[in-house]
Structure 1
């Protein structure tokens, strides 16, 4: 059973022509066989093209909306609202790709005829002798720790190449880069054709989750363990935060869950204000008490009238 073209493109049934085209362009670039080396990419690319050919034509889209997966037989028999011979790209028989225009080995992409492929795919279909064409863009992940993302600086990244070899790239990481941001290495993509310029390499930043610190936007959150006496009497505590050592003042009478804010000590922002550092107090008691500690705790329990459960 043919897949629903709306689901294939990831759009709703109320999507207009512009939304459909934007979704198609995004997916076509992602799954184009020149860019995506996944074995299933060619089939996915073909599926995306067929979905677009159904939804990009208002007449064909109307037939699909009315008859669903059987819309082609209504068109070919003349029984539906769009009777007559179906257009190429509207669900009827289509010619295979012309040599040098849409073929990838033995893969028949079977795309519609109303798409400007030269504009959409940056000249990927041009062959030798057809003029210069820019190479395809490549994408990869750049994994950083929180500390590396805060500091930024020059990093060397080793990436696999299409032929199975590896290559090192020098990357200037801007301080304060966030998870999901992309760093562009101009001219480090696929080689151009016929003297055309190469494509670019885009590195998507992935900040690895840490055991101690959590990043929310540009704010950094962590738990601050304190002793009962530090929480009751107050204290000044030195902590090695991701951006460097900081001194935190714990107010007298602090309970677990209290948040202390250190303004501007979070993730830096080259274009604006840095984030904040938030320390959440967590009172920790010793698992074992020596004799003197036990005597002092027993004395405190005897003289203190503090009841944290009052009202329960």
Structure 2
């Protein structure tokens, strides 16, 4: 940017030092020579009289006002990519450009966006701000690479300016203070990162990155355990085959931008000063696509949409909600919209969101899986062996005697694969028992359980069958001498199972018959 005072005379002497602040140059009273024969002032007084009225008030930013945070100004995060920063800057520049927005604060917001983009579009300035913050820059937004380290700045006569000799005919004899780097100061207001033609590097490569794509796919629980290959259908932006990404018709070339005459910058007035800003038509490159030269297939974007199928290998052990990244399968960049002629495009990435369906047999907890096995009451009390499903088929699992609901048995290494393991490690399968308690009992089942309660000394258990038998006065059969002395419970059990029946009359007992045979009678 060039700072030009409204009524600056053609010949001017540069001030010895520009101070960051508002000041008024003081005038000194110059006395006339005491010699009567001299009617004109001395040469020194003549020079001071000639130039003192021509010095104008110079307004600059107050030293205490720090450079605004460029990330906040553009509304991007500190980790934003170059394309995101560029997109945010173009949006603000278009919104607050003084030629289209006549609001009172539009000029200030436009200038703030220019300064912010100047910092973030230049790698060295962006790195300096990330390291030292506003201390790396002077109060006017110019880059001061030595500020963060306590340096004095740069050479005001270096770089593209090469000194100010010949400016206005007289030159800047005293020069400026080393505290202000004039080239960086001007480029900061001029939209810096992308300089106009003749000042930038024609061999500098511009890298444009495409957008990322995110899709979702669903898999079964067993697919998540074993791994599966899925075909994902997407419609990404791909390079236009007609123009090979240039955005131009065959034989057409970018021409000099008519808005800025190829300089990459335009002059605008702000606060009484004229300053140069980046041309919004060409983005500062100085080159633009002539009317009618855009590719008819892609409309000048350099990329078109195309339906594609991507094969994705989903590893075993993935969990619900995980994202898989497939590099270079995202959108191709819109290289036709790039400002420079030397452009290299890089595709974005494809992110696949995994949704794992639930399974009726298993539940998952990290790399471990849980199966609930229902066992009969008798198996829980007596112990036994049951079949349990696993990820690789059914296995036999022993049930310890006296198992209850909630008790677990762990089968090591029969769970899910551990994704972070290099040794193909697996989690565990935990089998939890649930005792199936019967709600309805037959008469025999209840009798047996009541007898078991008596046998175990359980006085709190409810009795129905045994008490009824006692109330009815049922007695065990006394026809046999062998059962005369049986207890009540044992006799009830024998009657229940029919083990002891009455011996028919006239039929000898087994014991008596054996005695007769042994004695040799009959």
Q: TM-score, normalization: structure 2?
A: 0.35
Where 2:222 maps in the other structure, the secondary structure is: helix
* C-alpha displacement of 1:307: 8.7
What CA deviation, in whole Å up to 9, does each residue of 1:205-241 have, x standing for no partner?
3434445433222111232221111111212211223
- Could you tell me which residue of structure 2 aligns to residue 115 of structure 1? 120
- The correspondence for 1:103, drawn from 79, 85, 90, is 90
Mapping for residues 161-172 of structure 1, pairs under 5 Å: 168-172=309-313
- Could you tell me which residue of structure 1 aligns to residue 370 of structure 2? 221
- Could you tell me which residue of structure 1 aligns to residue 332 of structure 2? 191
- Could you tell me which residue of structure 1 aligns to residue 422 of structure 2? 271
- Could you tell me which residue of structure 2 aligns to residue 176 of structure 1? 317
The more displaced of 153-162 and 220-229 is 153-162
Classify 1:159/1:241 alpha carbon distance in 2 versus 1 (closer, same or farther; 3 Å).
Answer: farther
Classify 1:208/1:107 alpha carbon distance in 2 versus 1 (closer, same or farther; 3 Å).
Answer: farther
* C-alpha displacement of 1:267: 0.5
Q: What 5-or-longer segments of structure 2 have no aligned partner? A: 1-60, 75-83, 97-109, 127-193, 195-203, 238-303, 336-342, 462-522
Is 2:63 the counterpart of 1:87? Answer: no
- The correspondence for 1:297, drawn from 449, 454, 463, is 449
Mapping for residues 128-167 of structure 1, pairs under 5 Å: 131-158=206-233
Q: Kindly indicate whether the alpha-carbon contact (under 8 Å) linking 2:406 and 2:434 is maintained by their aligned counterparts in 1.
A: yes
CA distance in 2, matches of 1:118, 1:308: 84
Mapping for residues 8-27 of structure 1, pairs under 5 Å: none
* C-alpha displacement of 1:99: 8.6
Where 1:230 maps in the other structure, the secondary structure is: helix
Classify 1:226/1:130 alpha carbon distance in 2 versus 1 (closer, same or farther; 3 Å).
Answer: same
Q: Kindly indicate whether the alpha-carbon contact (under 8 Å) linking 1:150 and 1:243 is maintained by their aligned counterparts in 2.
A: no
- Could you tell me which residue of structure 1 aligns to residue 394 of structure 2? 245
- Could you tell me which residue of structure 1 aligns to residue 173 of structure 2? none
The more displaced of 210-219 and 163-172 is 163-172
* C-alpha displacement of 1:292: 4.2
* C-alpha displacement of 1:277: 0.5
Aligned pairs, how many?
Answer: 222
CA distance in 2, matches of 1:205, 1:146: 11
CA distance in 1, matches of 2:354, 2:212: 17
Where 1:102 maps in the other structure, the secondary structure is: helix
The more displaced of 233-242 and 138-147 is 138-147
Q: What 5-or-longer segments of structure 1 have no aligned partner? A: 1-76, 121-125
CA distance in 1, matches of 2:403, 2:460: 13
Larger Rg: 2
Q: Kindly indicate whether the alpha-carbon contact (under 8 Å) linking 1:243 and 1:266 is maintained by their aligned counterparts in 2.
A: no
Q: TM-score, normalization: structure 1?
A: 0.55
Where 1:231 maps in the other structure, the secondary structure is: helix
Classify 1:191/1:208 alpha carbon distance in 2 versus 1 (closer, same or farther; 3 Å).
Answer: same
* C-alpha displacement of 1:158: 4.4
Q: Kindly indicate whether the alpha-carbon contact (under 8 Å) linking 1:146 and 1:242 is maintained by their aligned counterparts in 2.
A: no
- Could you tell me which residue of structure 2 aligns to residue 15 of structure 1? none
CA RMSD of aligned residues (A): 4.6
